Structure 1
């Protein structure tokens, strides 16, 4: 097993990478600032232990990293009470005061980016280059919403009668429960929390049970930034307690808002809980993104876009391309070039290795799902062109399938893994029909150099986000969210703060004018 020890202000963690083909076994040392490797929960500005703990595992080795406090419903309620108490003073701070504190938090995240990235790689498994990219992405939301904090404007509306004035005020909703996934354990927190804090809300964060360390490190930096006690609270818990803790965060009368990122199935459960007290809800749920390559596309750019969109975090993102639709004229050359790119650019290994581009999947269950989809597709006539095997632990070979049909599981269910199923189509209408046949609609991508086609397809794709000749589209400045069963509401952009605001109508009558 890995061993954890302290030298001065640094924590060191020894790990052994599993044996992979053509890779020697070797030890890795994770050294992070001791202040950032937190294993207790954070409530009302204090680090709090629970009666029990749960293990956080390195997904590359399956070995235990640390034991983290396992909070239950009681601690969750304590955190909600602390957030509710802090809300009454936090909302009264001026937007400029909140802006400055968020900016300090942003500065501290940048100052500690290396250590924060190491934590992501340790608990999530993604390569260090990607982890550093996530920290930059995380920090961008703190910066963006520190600026938006001072731009939350109401309205003065012209009345129908002369002796009145109509004012529309924007006010924070109150305590927000923030429930986040494991695949972006830092960015999914800052995208929600920064918007909430900017407008005067307080938060209780429940990080995913696989990746609590990033959330706890962010809480430490928030405290260092001077954000008052109770404004940010973090309640880590095990998979066994997640349901009970989630129920508290969605039903407690002191909670005014629930923001969740995760699977559609879990989102539906949380929606039912939140309905009991008619809470404000934001849901960023599952995706099943189409990636369409039309005959007019620049094939090399389409291949580069496919590589960027599909293989980031080993295919474990909600906006990853899942269904690859390629028009018949360029189908063969696209598949050939994509296969060559996969061979040349993708390297499996531990995320700590600079040569690694593909880390493990988060756990064995995730690898089993990809295995099942591959087996189903091959049994139904798909041709396996590359990869297809599960290696030690939760490592999956990047896999390329051709001759895929719409009845295969990989075309009907989100994969969340490094699988590229390619389906041939004839016409634009056919491609749109296949792309829009899904009950979810988060992101969609297509490549074309026909300007008329670009307008048509961008408008007709039933998704909340469209990448045209581009495989990476997420940014703090743009709205993030989906349609259909991919969720409710938008995060990021100028619209992100609206999810945490109420609009109050004030009518002042009897004015002598």
Structure 2
């Protein structure tokens, strides 16, 4: 009952704030976002330590979270005065008519952020909606409540008016009830969610019943394709997760490059413990399943991340290469969220494309080749949100659109594309 009461209070507060926030000047909003970025920089050490303690992440990952969050905020500040929010005045067929196409904020936006990259994805869930003139409710993760609360607190300290951003967190077992209470409120006009595909399906179906749009970034079983003309050393350094498709002719050479990275000292690889014991058990289950079905499994020696607290050694999963993979193995179609690398050989570009197109996910892919034209032609055929040429599949920037296809969701975060997700167009036809 308390959770539902808090939901209603948050919606009512954000709804009241929307009445004035939507009419606030773009320059005023920009100044507030500039101050928000400044505060985050000042509090960098505080939030980095908090993340390391809360989600068992490395110092490097906490630093990436801070740096990328600042870039998201600064990009939003710049875009508050952009043409993306101003609308257009198209030419009418009649000289006595002038049409205006206005971009207007939607209302109250619900942003649901995960724990695994809590600062980046927490800010991403609410910065674009607020910059576009909406108010927002950040529904944080029960696994990173302090980090997500930190986001709300710096918004407040930066001077954003009360109600422009509200924060909610709840027990895991209350998730369905809380989401239902929020999405059924008329004032809540859209939801964005970053998380698993099964939960995304539930959110999308419930929102559809309320005729509410959603922006979803869901699971992404990313593929990297390594052609025979690729720089194998570069590729080996950049594909240390998920599934890799390797041309038969360079399979042995690629494997040697991969093993040399771990056996040598030229490339520094650090493994952090997973967040929960059940996650470690699930990852080990993927390895056991693959091995039982004929996969060749090789565990590699790396160093563990230096953390500010002690962890259970059972929660540290060794870097693992899984070879001789086939479609019967769970790892073929499930995200690991751990240091597992699967290798699948292929004999032609058509075969590699067929493997990727057979996957229901479509977040991103990578292509390693010196023939950029051939790589571009293949990139055009892949049903994914991003294709990384000679780069890692995890690359993302605040100036680029980010999202997936198929079971990886729909809609785009990032830059002007992200702001447009949280506006609607209104046509005004002016007659003489």
Offset of residue 452 of structure 1: 2.8
Offset of residue 281 of structure 1: 1.1
Alignment partner, residue 216 of structure 2? 283
1:255 aligns with 2:179: no
The 1:125–1:345 alpha-carbon spacing in structure 2 relative to 1, beyond 3 Å, is farther
Cα distance between partner residues in 2 of 1:211 and 1:396: 21
Q: Is the 8 A contact 2:126 2:137 kept in 1?
A: no
Q: Is the 8 A contact 1:251 1:276 kept in 2?
A: no
Q: Which has the higher contact order (CA 8 A, sep 6+)?
A: 2
RMSD, matched Cα: 1.9
Offset of residue 249 of structure 1: 2.3
Which segments of structure 1 move beyond 4 Å, counting only runs of 4 or more?
A: 343-347
2:338 to 398, 413, 417: 417
Cα distance between partner residues in 1 of 2:132 and 2:266: 42
The 1:356–1:441 alpha-carbon spacing in structure 2 relative to 1, beyond 3 Å, is closer
Structure 1 unaligned blocks of 5 or more: 1-50, 52-70, 311-321, 348-354
Alignment partner, residue 209 of structure 1? 142
Alignment partner, residue 80 of structure 2? 149
Alignment partner, residue 120 of structure 1? 51
Alignment partner, residue 443 of structure 1? 364
The 1:105–1:346 alpha-carbon spacing in structure 2 relative to 1, beyond 3 Å, is farther
Structure 2 residue matching 1:396: 3-state secondary structure: coil
Offset of residue 237 of structure 1: 1.2
Q: Is the 8 A contact 2:141 2:148 kept in 1?
A: no
Q: Is the 8 A contact 1:346 1:357 kept in 2?
A: no
Aligned residue pairs, count: 420
Q: Is the 8 A contact 2:362 2:385 kept in 1?
A: yes
Offset of residue 356 of structure 1: 8.3
Structure 1 residue matching 2:52: 3-state secondary structure: helix
Cα distance between partner residues in 1 of 2:61 and 2:262: 17
2:276 to 355, 363, 371: 363
Q: TM-score, structure 2 length as denominator?
A: 0.94
1:333 aligns with 2:253: yes
Offset of residue 398 of structure 1: 1.1
Offset of residue 387 of structure 1: 4.5
Structure 2 unaligned blocks of 5 or more: 303-311
CA offsets, 1:392-450, max 9 Å, x none? 34221111122222321111212211111111111111011001111110011110111
Offset of residue 346 of structure 1: 11
Q: Is the 8 A contact 1:114 1:132 kept in 2?
A: no
Offset of residue 344 of structure 1: 4.5
5 Å matches for 1:73-92? 73-92=4-23
Alignment partner, residue 324 of structure 1? 244
Q: Is the 8 A contact 1:170 1:501 kept in 2?
A: yes
Q: TM-score, structure 1 length as denominator?
A: 0.79
1:382 to 292, 295, 303: 295
The 1:183–1:88 alpha-carbon spacing in structure 2 relative to 1, beyond 3 Å, is same
Alignment partner, residue 18 of structure 1? none
Alignment partner, residue 315 of structure 2? 394
Alignment partner, residue 186 of structure 1? 119
CA offsets, 1:23-69, max 9 Å, x none? xxxxxxxxxxxxxxxxxxxxxxxxxxxx9xxxxxxxxxxxxxxxxxx
5 Å matches for 1:53-92? 72-92=3-23
Structure 1 residue matching 2:354: 3-state secondary structure: helix
Offset of residue 330 of structure 1: 1.0
Alignment partner, residue 303 of structure 1? 236
Q: Is the 8 A contact 1:178 1:205 kept in 2?
A: yes
The 1:403–1:356 alpha-carbon spacing in structure 2 relative to 1, beyond 3 Å, is closer
Cα distance between partner residues in 2 of 1:374 and 1:400: 9
1:493 to 404, 408, 415: 415
Cα distance between partner residues in 2 of 1:489 and 1:175: 18
Offset of residue 345 of structure 1: 6.5
Cα distance between partner residues in 2 of 1:265 and 1:170: 33
Structure 2 residue matching 1:256: 3-state secondary structure: strand
Alignment partner, residue 67 of structure 2? 136
Offset of residue 305 of structure 1: 1.2
Offset of residue 388 of structure 1: 10
